[in-house]
Amino acid sequence: MSDATLVSPANAGKLVSLEEAAALIRSGKVLSIAADAALLEQLPPGNWIGGTIPYFMAQDGGETTREKVFVTQIDAAAGTPTIRYYDTAELSRVCVDAPESGFSLIILPAFSESHSHFARDAPSFPDMYMKPLAGWIAGIHLDDLGNDKPLVFSGNDAKGHEEGAVVMHVTLPPERIAQIGIINLFKQGTGDKIRFTTSGFSAEGCLINGKPTNFAEYVKANQLDTRLPLVADYCGAMINVSIKEVDEQAGRVDFYAPVFDDVEYRIAAPVTDYVEAFRSAAPQQCGQIAFCCNCILNYLYSELEGKRVERMFGPMTFGEVAYQLLNQTLVYVTIED
């Protein structure tokens, strides 16, 4: 398989067979890889990092498959990137170790201690926001929830890890720069102002327009559409927190990312046509897309299987990283002159 069949001017990622992915690794290509665990476990050591997921937006449209491997070829013009595994205690060094000129890709396993630590504490890591950091949260087929665990893989040993993170630090030539883009179709709706009494991945108590109440009871009483995320306005940047589950008996709501007790949220305004809204929001002109990922909730709620979203090819993930953890967004990295 030649480079020409893998890399287009628009996007560096593509779904391929297991055999093609293994051949690319053996040829020395530098890759970010996403696939079902049974496939990743068969790949040889090499210059790659990977994570588990069977959902993709690929060259033929949205696809769920346990039989193919999504490979993204990484720019190695300035030398072979550094691949590292970080345990949870080492995560805060991710941006410290990043190159001064380049970017870093990170993959963390969903529901792990490292996922929780990164979600809560990444904004305070040293050098965070000073160097480009993007990536995703590895997941599993939704039919396997409760049985299998998401894994991340370092090509250094080609072994899977249930904890920690794998990171590829990519140095770029001086004349090139990496830029991180975020497409978030959600904006705050016009409903109630919501504040939570504690920070974390779940909530019981909250303040609705300043009045104390139980958030699970509020969701039920108002028949809220839990497919819509909570949205916080960070000085004009809309940051989503997606609802994972409402446990009415326990009086608790669980989230895919943490809520914070010092932030005001509103339920997002509905998006009627995801594909059309995405096409309108996508940049009309940008450099080569070096990496891309989108949220599994966008894939499911917007019924993207079989639908094609131009240029933005990549895994559909359990969370996106653009410096910090995000939900229900699309994250991409472009390389610009």
Q: Does the residue 206 lie in any domain?
A: yes
Q: Is there a single domain that holds both residue 199 and residue 144?
A: no
Q: Which residues contact 265 (CB under 8 A, 6 or more apart)?
A: 193, 194, 195, 196, 230, 231, 232, 241, 259
Q: What is the pLDDT of residue 330?
A: 93
Q: Does the residue 21 lie in any domain?
A: yes
Q: Identify the domain boundary among 267, 298, 321.
A: 267
Q: Is there a single domain that holds both residue 107 and residue 234?
A: no
The CA distance from 201 to 93, in Å, is 23
Q: Is there a single domain that holds both residue 296 and residue 214?
A: no
| Tens digit of each residue's pLDDT (9 = 90 or more) over 152-201 | 999 999 999 999 999 999 999 989 999 999 999 999 999 999 999 999 88
137-163 mean pLDDT = 95
Q: What is the pLDDT of residue 141?
A: 96
Q: Does the residue 187 lie in any domain?
A: no
Q: Is there a single domain that holds both residue 51 and residue 139?
A: yes
Q: Is there a single domain that holds both residue 155 and residue 202?
A: no
Q: Is there a single domain that holds both residue 78 and residue 222?
A: no
Is residue 86 very low, low, confident or very high in pLDDT (cuts 50, 70, 90)? Answer: very high
Q: Is there a single domain that holds both residue 202 and residue 290?
A: no
Q: Is there a single domain that holds both residue 161 and residue 16?
A: yes
Q: For residue 124, which amino acid is it?
A: S
Q: What is the pLDDT of residue 7?
A: 37
Q: Is there a single domain that holds both residue 119 and residue 77?
A: yes
Q: Does the residue 249 lie in any domain?
A: yes
Give, in order, the Cα–Cα distances in Å from 15 to each of 60, 68, 70, 227: 9, 6, 4, 28
Does residue 5 have a pLDDT over 60?
no
Q: Is there a single domain that holds both residue 283 and residue 244?
A: no
Q: Does the residue 74 lie in any domain?
A: yes
| Tens digit of each residue's pLDDT (9 = 90 or more) over 29-85 | 999 999 999 999 999 999 999 999 999 999 899 999 999 999 999 988 888 999 999
Q: What is the pLDDT of residue 11?
A: 63
Q: Is there a single domain that holds both residue 145 and residue 229?
A: no
Tokens at residue 200, please? 């974390």
> How many CB atoms are closer than 10 A to CB 111?
17
The CA distance from 315 to 304, in Å, is 13
Alpha-helix residue ranges (DSSP H) falling in 87-153: 113-121
Q: Is there a single domain that holds both residue 117 and residue 166?
A: yes
Q: pTM for this structure? A: 0.90
CA pseudo-torsion sign 267, 273, 279, 280? negative
Q: What is the pLDDT of residue 284?
A: 67
Reported for 269-272, long-range contacts at CB under 8 A and 24+ positions apart, including other chains, are 269/186, 269/187, 269/188, 269/189, 269/190, 269/228, 270/189, 270/225, 270/228, 271/185, 271/186, 271/302
| Tens digit of each residue's pLDDT (9 = 90 or more) over 13-30 | 999 999 999 999 999 999
Q: What is the pLDDT of residue 236?
A: 81
- Of these ranges, 3-12, 33-42, 296-305, the one predicted with the greatest mean pLDDT is 33-42
Does residue 128 have a pLDDT over 60?
yes
Q: Does the residue 188 lie in any domain?
A: no
Q: What is the pLDDT of residue 278?
A: 75
Is residue 288 very low, low, confident or very high in pLDDT (cuts 50, 70, 90)? Answer: confident
Is 290 in contact with 178 (CB distance < 8 Å)? Answer: yes
Q: What is the pLDDT of residue 1?
A: 30
| Tens digit of each residue's pLDDT (9 = 90 or more) over 91-106 | 999 999 999 999 999 9
> Residue 264, CB half-sphere, CA atoms under 13 Å: how many?
11
Give, in order, the Cα–Cα distances in Å from 261 to each of 93, 106, 183, 196, 258: 26, 27, 25, 5, 10
Is 47 in contact with 81 (CB distance < 8 Å)? Answer: yes
Q: Identify the domain boundary among 210, 237, 267.
A: 267
Tokens at residue 204, please? 């019981």
The number of distinct structural domains making up the chain is 2
Nearest to 138 by CA among 170, 182, 168, 106: 106
Instruction: Please report which helix (H) or strand (E) contains residue 296, including its range.
Output: helix 296-301
Does residue 8 have a pLDDT over 70?
no
Q: What is the pLDDT of residue 4?
A: 30
Q: Does the residue 189 lie in any domain?
A: no
Kind of pairing between the strands at 31-35 and 48-52: parallel
Nearest to 229 by CA among 258, 261, 252, 197: 258
Is residue 6 very low, low, confident or very high in pLDDT (cuts 50, 70, 90)? Answer: very low
Q: Identify the domain boundary among 267, 300, 319.
A: 267
The radius of gyration of the chain from alpha carbons, rounded to an integer in Å, stands at: 19
Note down the domain range covering 255: 194-267
| Tens digit of each residue's pLDDT (9 = 90 or more) over 253-287 | 999 888 999 999 999 999 888 778 877 777 766 67
The CA distance from 204 to 206, in Å, is 7
Phi-psi region of 251 (alpha: psi -120 to 50; beta: other; left: phi over 0): left
Q: Does the residue 15 lie in any domain?
A: yes
| Tens digit of each residue's pLDDT (9 = 90 or more) over 205-241 | 999 999 999 999 999 999 999 999 999 998 788 899 9
Does residue 312 have a pLDDT over 90?
no
